[in-house]
Structure 1
Amino acid sequence: MNPPANTSASSPARPARGRVWPWLATSALVLVLDQWTKWLIQQNLPINASLPVTGFFNLVHYENPGAAFSFLAAADGWQRWLFTGLALAASALIVWLLFRHRGRTLFSLALALILGGALGNVVDRLVWGHVTDFLDFYITVGGRSWHWPAFNVADSSITVGAMLLLADEWLRSRAARHATLPR
């Protein structure tokens, strides 16, 4: 006698299946765009130079041996390996999460952006020992300017990815809340 057919109603829930390569390709695109823009700055703008673009934005060429907001930039060099190791560990976790949750579009896009940005800064740390920052936004009030710390495409990608992760969680929790409401 044949066993009963496995129907979707009786089978256990499985994660949505999807392809992971579009997310890895997105990460690769971010990595290439990040490295290309940093190369353009390195080739065309001297270190510590500033090129005004608008009344609130400059292109600059800074070398940051630290992390975000130049955290630990003045350390003796060990921070290069710490931040590289952390980024590589986070990247491995992200790749694992991408394979596990590749059917979740917003979540996977967020992770892909974070992965591409993390790897962009890892390349800088491994090749140059610092991260090249070049986007300088500021506000001027009463003749005095306040600048946001300079950043790059990788940093932007990580930030957008983090915001998308928050949006994904908010949407999922909202959907779960609505699913449990009595009708």
Structure 2
Amino acid sequence: MPPFSASPRLVGLAAALLAALVDQAHKFWMLHVFGIEARQPVTLAPFLDLVLSWNHGVSYSLFPAHEAAGRAMLLAGQGVIVLGLLWWMWRATNRLTALALGLVVGGALGNAIDRLLRGAVADFFYLHTTLPVGPLANYVFNVADVAITAGVALLLYESFFPPPPPAESAA
């Protein structure tokens, strides 16, 4: 029996589903089981704390949307981007591209679910430093953001180290 080899589409869809589910499970646990709101901040390391921060915009709270119309516009824009990424993922010919795009899509969906259900995105990990590194001195993020970042990192890796072209079958 030949070894199991998943198609790129299956890899991408599985990555998207897993990223969104893990993100939502983590958010549920942090909010309703661990009770981060009453316990914050929880220091994990000198540079990392657990906190609860509601992000009404996108990265670094850009384009804040506190009203329903603003949230609808953010969700619409996010939806267009996700559809474009899904189209790209569906056409991917290798599993690494599909995995990367699936992680980005899953992370985006996890944050979109927050925006729909809670009106804002829940962030929990507070990365901070006193080093003079500009806006990176303080960054608050969640599991969905980790999935998005990992997906983008994989796409960058693949752009510098592309996979070999598929071997042509002898007919």
- Pairwise TM-score range, normalised by the shorter structure: 0.7 to 0.9
Counterpart of 2:110? 120
**Identity among equivalent pairs (%):** 30
Maintained 8 Å contact 1:48/1:61: no
Q: Does 1:41 align with 2:21?
A: no
Q: 2:77 aligns with which of 82, 86, 110?
A: 86
Cα separation, partners in 2 of 1:39 and 1:58, compared to 1, 3 Å = same
Q: How does 1:21-40 map to 2 (within 5 A)?
A: 21-40=10-29
Maintained 8 Å contact 2:8/2:95: no
Q: 1:157 aligns with which of 119, 140, 147?
A: 147
Render the CA deviation track for 1:55-78: whole Å, top value 9, x for unaligned: 111000111111100112365453
The structure that is helix-richer by fraction is 2
Counterpart of 2:63? 72
Q: How does 1:87-106 map to 2 (within 5 A)?
A: 87-101=78-92, 103-106=93-96
Q: 2:47 aligns with which of 52, 56, 60?
A: 56
RMSD: 2.5
Structure 2 unpaired stretches of 5+: 1-5, 166-171
Q: 1:108 aligns with which of 98, 104, 114?
A: 98
Q: Which has the higher contact order (CA 8 A, sep 6+)?
A: 2
Q: Give 1:49 deviation, angstroms.
A: 3.1
Counterpart of 2:169? none
Maintained 8 Å contact 1:109/1:161: yes
TM-score, normalised via structure 2 length: 0.79
Cα separation, partners in 2 of 1:113 and 1:47, compared to 1, 3 Å = farther
Q: Distance in 1 between matches of 2:69 and 2:57?
A: 10
Q: Give 1:22 deviation, angstroms.
A: 2.4
Render the CA deviation track for 1:6-44: whole Å, top value 9, x for unaligned: xxxxxxxxxxx9351222011111001101111122121
What is the total number of aligned residue pairs between the two structures? 154
Q: 2:125 aligns with which of 118, 135, 140?
A: 135
Q: Distance in 2 between matches of 1:53 and 1:147?
A: 17
Structure 1 unpaired stretches of 5+: 1-16, 177-183
Cα separation, partners in 2 of 1:98 and 1:58, compared to 1, 3 Å = same
Question: Amino acid of the residue matched to residue 22 of structure 1?
Answer: V
